[in-house]
Amino acid sequence: MVQQFKAIIIKNVYPELDSSRYPVKREVGDLFEVGADIFKEGHDVLSALLKYRRKQDDDWHETPMEFVDNDRWCGSFILQENTRYVYTIEAFTNVFESWLLNLVIKSQAGADISSELLDGQRIIGEAAERAVGDDRKTLEATLHQLKRGADQKRTVVILTAEWLPQLMTKHADRRDATVYDREPEVVVDRQEARFAAWYEMFHRSQGKVPGRSATFADCEQRLPEIKAMGFDVVYLPPIHPVGRNQRKGRNNTLEAGPNDPGSPWAIGNELGGHKAVNPELGTLEDFEHLVQAVKDLGMEVALDFAIQCSADHPYIKEHPDWFYNRPNGSMRYAENPPKKYQDIYPLNFYCENREVLWQELKSIVLFWIERGVRIFRVDNPHTKPFHFWEWLIQEIQQSYPDVIFLSEAFTRPKVLKFLAKVGFTQSYTYFTWRNFKEELTEYMTELTQSEVSEYLRGNLFTNTPDILPPILQRGGRPAFKMRLVLAATLSSVYGIYNGFELCENTAIPGTEEYLNSEKYEYKVWDWDRPGNIKDYIGTVNRIRNENPALHLYKNLRFYRADDENVLFYGKMTPDKANIVLVMVNLDPFQTHESIIHMPLEDMEINPEEKYIVDELITGATYLWTGEIQRVSLDPQVETAMILRISRWAYKDYDTPCF
């Protein structure tokens, strides 16, 4: 018995992750392009369709794919909704165009095509029977005209009119159609998933009274200043009651003083757990008021989702089976070697009642969604099962597709990437520890130009409550400005932790930990203290907002600068209407001069053509010509240049002026 098979081959579909096991990511309004190799034996003409639908729908939409070259086809459609789409490809032999190609060849050779015309009448007649409405009438009229007879040249003109092959393809016989055997998915997030500036606000340090926690009302007082710096997201550490047992003291000491507040990541006490608010900050109603105040200023609140409990959390008594016990009967606290967290206890996701546990954790996210939160920064997701995150994120986004999850996974590269594959909207990256030209170029090229960019959006944080990198400790104010520009322009989404704007860089010697960290004590900051870079941050964020090229993530390209300390890169919109180039001195201590090689070909500028260069930080304007330019970057003056390129506009002097 002859085995059934499909004659048309569809392979190398892109984008597609792990044979469609995981979805790719895009944003609302994107043009989603799909490519594939499509071919069959012989010389028949093929047609291909890109088929797509919302995941919750049954009916497919179709759009034609175009032949590119070497059996490569490409199609596209606009992603109009914040939801999940499914797509696939269908290809079939285009009987009409295959016949028409043979007819034209024979006609041009002067051969008799009367027999071929009879075949054509049959093919058009069958298509007319499949068509309805005006399409059917048009095809029947064409068939009638052919049957009346005309000279061969006139007949070929009728058959090769542009509208006829299009209409025939629309109603083609698809009996030999091959449909790609998988249905990949694309998660379509709102645009804020790709473009946003995050400000991590340590809530209890926003007040003015030493030794006392700030409140949500105090946080509201700081919002106009954060908005003025140009931020879009106000991210809060855990807002829940803090455990009392084994509470950490100042600088992470094991014994807390009577007035030490403990780490907010040690969640839960007799006043409640993950669905409660620390009364020092205020009430649940106060929190909701803060959320609304943030929205009124055009920003959003992001909330920390830390799945861990203090020894006083209600879960400890209510569900002791959700935790790990040592052989001696004591409960196992959390560790992330070499760090130990004696004040928190991890949950056992594989416990006997794990379904109840998982549903309870889902209910926590839903609880805060109902109070206006749509962004969650997830603490240490790499210490929880991947299947849990895949399940949770899909469950939440099925009802709330606008929810964004940021993965705080400073872990092994493959684990970090896999968490993005299973569903996290954004990811922390290793940018915090990438300082030099070669490593920045290599790493950011991987993030934005390889397959990784199909599923991982890198949120570049300059610092965190846990990480004060050496470059900031040693490089002073120039290093803060340099790292800000890098984070804000290498990626379209980035963040800072409060104190960065003050150039706070006092560390525990030999560590990346802040000395006298607000993780373990109440602090009062002077947000206007000398040496701050608030205005500089505001300028950089304004530049980001005003230049559409910086809103995009995958358009980063690196260019040649001859000095190893000068990083030169740029972003352009697809139509080249907005071109932004950035030069950064990576050495916060010394001035560096460098020859830079302007990417004239990428900018579509001729070598002899003059072009305008607006330096957006200082407001200076230059008129340049050619590829080779020289720049000097003094970190004590300006450590970076952000250039917007435009063509020189000549005045029309032929028009008389009176």
Residues carrying an active site annotation: 379, 408
| Contact (Cβ atoms closer than 8 angstroms) between residue 409 and residue 415 | yes
Angle value at C-alpha 104, between 102 and 105, nearest 5 degrees: 65
| Contact (Cβ atoms closer than 8 angstroms) between residue 233 and residue 299 | yes
Cβ within 8 Å of residue 207, ≥6 positions away: 213, 214, 215, 218, 524
3-state secondary structure of 581: strand
In terms of Cα–Cα distance, which of 45, 41, 38 is closest to 7? Answer: 41
Q: How many residues does the chain have?
A: 658
| Contact (Cβ atoms closer than 8 angstroms) between residue 389 and residue 409 | no
Rounded CA-CA distance 308/541 in Å is: 35
Beta carbons within 10 angstroms of residue 563's beta carbon:
19
Is the peptide bond preceding residue 210 cis, with omega within 30 degrees of 0? no
Rounded CA-CA distance 468/465 in Å is: 8
- Tokens 């993005």 locate to 420
Specify the DSSP class assigned to residue 42: S
Helices assigned H by DSSP within 309-428: 314-318, 354-369, 386-399, 413-422
Angle value at C-alpha 292, between 287 and 294, nearest 5 degrees: 95
CA distances from 238 to 142, 266, 376, 404 (A): 71, 9, 11, 17
Measure the CA dihedral 315/317/321/325, to 10°.
Answer: 110
> Residue 541 belongs to what H/E stretch?
helix 534-546
Q: Is 399 exposed, middle or buried (0-12, 13-18, 19+ CB in 10 A)?
A: exposed
HEC-encoded secondary structure of 137-201: HHHHHHHHHHHHCCCHHHHHHHHCCCHHHHHHHHCCCCCCCEECCCCCEEEEECHHHCCEEEEEC
Rounded CA-CA distance 564/201 in Å is: 36
Indicate the residue type of 222: R
| Contact (Cβ atoms closer than 8 angstroms) between residue 371 and residue 404 | no
Task: Report the half-sphere exposure of 657 (CA within 13 A, side-chain side).
Answer: 3
Cβ within 8 Å of residue 654, ≥6 positions away: none
In terms of Cα–Cα distance, which of 473, 381, 477 is closest to 433? Answer: 473
Beta carbons within 10 angstroms of residue 14's beta carbon:
16
Tally: H helices and E strands in the chain: 15, 28
| Contact (Cβ atoms closer than 8 angstroms) between residue 127 and residue 97 | no
